[in-house]
Amino acid sequence: MPTALNEQALARYRNDFLREVEERVDEGGWVKMCMQCGVCAGSCPFGPHWEHSPQKIFMMIRAGKREEVLASDSMWMCTSCYNCVVRCPRKLPITTIMHGLATYAHRLGLAPKRQPTRDFSVIFWENFTRNGRANEIRLMLRLWFRDGFGAGIRKALAMKEVGLGMLRAKRMSPFEIFGGHGVKDVKGFQAMIRKAQEIEDRKRGFSK
């Protein structure tokens, strides 16, 4: 009997992971169209900071490196500058694929822990879906204090001037800390989000 790990090895180059990405990742069907020119890798402003370039991730997907790809933090670094997309000679929607892969990894629980972009996304999503509006104060507090109380205070003090500026300019209300205001029909909004999630889940094969 092969172990689970061996099965994983055998599945390599069976294109199973490629198919999985095609079916379950936003714009994943484009991965096969990459011709490994590397222009995306060279165009990315975050290039020096990540481990795997988009083109390399696409190759790893074709090579069946499921764990490595989904655990990679590279796609979390995408800032949606679209440099790669406008230069890609095959017109791959690379930005969308990167975000799609990140989302997919997150849904599977395989995304790297404590990845700042991921944490921010989670916090933002929870914050925003609660009332249908982003609550800046609560968002910032959660983000700053995610690394502990001391770190939170330090970050808050560092951002003090910006915060006071926003208060003076009435861009932010201190009372929002108590829950803040939402859209008119919060319940309707939340139902809409739920429905959208259901559709998306069904499409990506996550439905129960």
Partner 1 sequence: MATAVATNQTILVVGGGVSGMTAALEAAECGKEVVLVESSATLGGRTASLYRYFPKLCHPVCGLEINLRRLRGNRSVRVLTLAEVTAVSGTRGDFTVTVKRSPRYVNRNCTACGACAQAVSAEIPNPWNYGLDRLKAAYLPHAMAYPQRYVLDPSIIGTPDAEKARAACKYDAIDLGMQAETLELKVGAIVWATGWRPYDAAKIQPYGYGRFPNVITSVEFERLADPHGPSGGKILRPSDGKLAKNVAFVQCAGSRDENHLRHCSRICCMASLKQTQYVREAFGEGAQSTVYYIDIRAIDRFEDFYARVQRDPTVKFVKSKVARIAEDQATRDPILHGVDTEGYRRYASRHDLVVLAIGMEPSVRGADIPAEVVADSSGFIDAAADGAAVFGAGCATNALDVNRSVQNATAAALRAIQVVNRAARAES
Partner 2 sequence: MAEMKTAAYVCQGCGLGERLSTQQLAQVAQKEGKMALVREHPFLCSAAGVQAIRDDIEKDGVTHIAIAACSRRAKTEAFHFPAVAMSRANLREGVIWSQPDTEAARETTQEMADDYVRMACAEVKKMKAPAGNPEAARNTRLLVVGGGISGMTAALEASKAGYPVTLVEKTAALGGWAAKLWKRTPAREPFQAPAETGVAAMIEAVRADPNIEVRLSSTIARTSGAPGRFSVAIATESGGAATEDFGAIVQASGFSLYDASKLPELGFGKSPNVVDQAGLERLAREAAAGNAPIRRPSDDGEVKTVVFVQCAGQRDATGEHLPYCSGHCCATSIKQAMYFKDANPAVDTVVLYTDLRVPGNGEDFYRSGQSKGVVFTKGAVSAVEPAGNACSVRFRDLILDEDATIENADLVVLATGQVPNSGVDIEKVAQNEPGEWQPDANSVLNLVYRQGKDLPLLRHGFSDSHFICFPYETRRTGIYAAGPVRRPMDIAQAVEDATGAALKAIQAAENAALGRAAHPRSGDLSFPIVRLDGCTQCKRCTVECPFGAIDEDEKRYPVFNESRCRRCGTCMGACPVRVISFENYSVDTVGAQLKAVDVPDEFSEKPRILVLACENDAYPALDMAGMARRTYSAFVRIIPVRCLGSVNTIWVSDALNSGYDGVMLMGCKHGDDYQCHFVKGSELANYRMSKIDDTLKQMALETERVATYEVAITDIERAPRLIDEYAAKIAEIGMSPLKGFA
Q: Which helix (H) or strand (E) holds 103?
A: helix 94-108
Residue type, 32: K
Q: Which of 185, 180, 183, 184 is nearest to 139 (CA)?
A: 180
Half-sphere exposure of 2 (CA within 13 A, CB side): 8
- List the single partner that 14 binds among partner 2, partner 1, none, CB under 5 to 8 Å by kind: partner 2
Q: Nearest distance from residue 68's CB to partner 1, in Å?
A: 14
- SS3 call for 139: helix
- SS3 call for 100: helix
Q: How many residues bind partner 1 (CB under 8 A)?
A: 20
- List the single partner that 87 binds among partner 1, partner 2, none, CB under 5 to 8 Å by kind: partner 1
Contact call for residue 38 and partner 1 (CB under 8 A) = yes
Q: Which of 90, 24, 21 is nearest to 58 (CA)?
A: 21
Residues in region 68-127 near partner 1 by CB under 8 A? 86-87, 89-91
Q: Nearest distance from residue 75's CB to partner 2, in Å?
A: 17
Contact call for residue 65 and partner 1 (CB under 8 A) = no
Pick the stretch among 49-57, 101-109, 127-135, 174-182 that binds partner 1 (CB under 8 A).
49-57
Q: Which of 148, 65, 151, 145 is nearest to 110 (CA)?
A: 65
* Residue 139 structure tokens: 């968002």
- List the single partner that 91 binds among partner 2, partner 1, none, CB under 5 to 8 Å by kind: partner 1
Whether residue 144 contacts residue 198, with contact meaning beta carbons closer than 8 Å, is answered with: no
Q: Nearest distance from residue 148's CB to partner 2, in Å?
A: 38
Residue type, 44: C
Contact call for residue 37 and partner 1 (CB under 8 A) = yes
Binding site for partner 2 (CB under 8 A): 9-10, 12-15, 18, 32-33, 35-36, 55-56, 59-60, 62-63, 90
Residues that bind partner 1 (CB under 8 A): 35-43, 47-48, 52-53, 55-56, 86-87, 89-91
